[in-house]
Structure 1
C-alpha cells in the first residue's frame, strides 16, 4: 500500500505537456503474449555516460517532462548509478531522481530509486546499436518503454531501427511519443 501511495503522489505532481496523453499508472503498451528479448551482448561499461530520451511511452511520473536525460556511472560492485533529469519546456531543471541499476542478466537490469522505497523495476535493454549511440529500453510487463540516444537529435535511420525493435517486441508504436529536447 505504501508503494502505491508513493507512486500516486509522484503521478499527481506531474503536469502534462500540451496535447500529451498521460498513461495510467498500470497502462500497458505492448502485447504481453508476444515474446520480449533483451540484448544478449549488452555491455554495461559501454552504457555508462549520458543518454537523452528522444521518445517514450506515457508514464505518469514523466508527464510534462522535456529535455529528459539519464546519466549512468559504473559502481565498484558492477551495478550502475543513474541520475534522471526532467526539464521544463524552457530548459530549467524541473526534477531529478537518483537511483541504482543492478545487472541481473544479459541486457536486464533492476532499477531502484533513492526516494521510492521498496520498488525495483525491470529495465531491459532490448537493443543498442554497435556504437552504443542509440538504445531501446522496455519492460516485460509493457508498462514503459524508451528510445534513448547519446545526443538530443537522433538520425532518422537509427530512429527507424529503434521503432522496429519496439514493434518486434510487441509495443504499440501508435502510443509512442517523441520527447522535445
Structure 2
C-alpha cells in the first residue's frame, strides 16, 4: 500500500517528464570516450521533455575545474531573460568514461548522463534514466550539436540510434534555437 501512495505523490513531479513502467534501459555508450574532446559548448537540438528546460536557445557548456570535476553550465532563454544553472559532473568509474553523473545541487545525488554517441565536432546523443523503486523510470534524451542547427539526416540518425537502444521517443520535440545570440 505504501508504494502506491508514494507513486501517487510522485506523479505530479513526473508529469512534465517522460516516464515508463519498468526498469531503465541500458543502452551502449560511446566507446573510447575522450572527455577533453567533448568539453565546450553544445546546443540542444531535440529532447525528451524535462521540467527544468522550458525555454528556448538552450545550451550546455562543459569545462574542467581545478579539482578535476566537470563544470556544467546550462543556459536558456525563458520569460524574457537568460537563466543559468551551474552543476557538477563526475566520472564515477574511470573504466566507463562515457557514463557521467551530473548534479545541480549539493543536496541531490548524481543523475546518470550517458554519452551514447558523439563525433566531438558536430553531434552528441545523450541519455539519462532514473528508476523509481524498479516500478517505473523517468528518462531524458538529448540530441546536441556544436551549432544551433543540425542537418535533418543527422537528427534522424540520432533518433534511430536512441530507438534502437530501446528508448521511446514518442514525446521528443525540437528545441527552438531561432533568434538566439551567442555570448
- Asked if TM exceeds 0.5, the reply is yes
1:39 CA drift (Å):
1.0
Query: Does 2:128 align with 1:139?
Result: yes
Distance 2:38 2:21 in 1: 25
Matched residue of 1:163: which SS? helix
Task: Tell me the residue number matched to 2:88.
Answer: 100
Task: Tell me the residue number matched to 2:114.
Answer: 124
Distance 2:47 2:101 in 1: 19
Matched residue of 1:119: which SS? coil
Task: Tell me the residue number matched to 1:15.
Answer: none
8 A Cα contact 2:124 2:144, kept in partner = yes
Q: Return 5+ residue gaps in structure 1 as ranges.
A: 1-7, 12-22
1:118 CA drift (Å):
2.5
Distance 1:138 1:67 in 2: 20
Aligned CA RMSD, in angstroms, stands at 2.5
Change (3 A) 1:33 1:44: closer
1:133 CA drift (Å):
1.3
Matched residue of 1:160: which SS? helix
Distance 2:21 2:34 in 1: 25
Deviations 1:32-62 (A, max 9, x none): 5754111122111011110000111011111
Report the number of matched residues.
156
Query: Does 2:176 align with 1:180?
Result: yes
Task: Tell me the residue number matched to 1:157.
Answer: 153
TM-score scaled to structure 2, two decimals?
A: 0.74
Greater Rg over alpha carbons, structure: 2
8 A Cα contact 1:29 1:171, kept in partner = no
Q: How does 1:20-169 map to 2 (within 5 A)?
A: 24=15, 27-28=18-19, 32=23, 34-62=25-53, 64-88=54-78, 92-93=81-82, 95-104=83-92, 105-114=96-105, 117-129=107-119, 131-141=120-130, 142-169=138-165
8 A Cα contact 1:112 1:121, kept in partner = yes
